[in-house]
Amino acid sequence: MAGVQVLGVGRFPGSHRHADTAVGARLRSTGHTRSTAADSGAVLRLSPHGPVSGLSATSVFRATAEGAAVRVRTYTEATGERLTVQAVASA
């Protein structure tokens, strides 16, 4: 769903990619919603949560009405301990 690089937690051994992260691997889905945008495009929201880190994310996938492109944005929020997020990768 999302790769999240957090200071002090690290990546998987041998990887320099932001997509292969220990925190991202522990995110578990808490639900999703699907809707239609004002321009008739499709919007899908995925909501993963990390029970160990307390990190929640919302990934928003937005497809154009023509279906030619998809834009993805991911928003993060930490509950519990303070985390320093270094990078977020989605899709």
Q: What residues does each domain of the chain span?
A: 2-90
What region does 14 belong to: left with phi over 0, alpha with psi -120 to 50, or beta? left
pLDDT at 26: 83
| Residue 46 exposure: Cα atoms within 13 Å on the Cβ side | 14
Note the pLDDT tens digit of each residue in 4-59: 878 777 665 555 655 667 787 888 889 999 999 888 889 999 999 988 888 898 99
Distance CA 48, CA 54 (A): 11
pLDDT at 42: 92
What amino acid occupies position 75?
A: Y
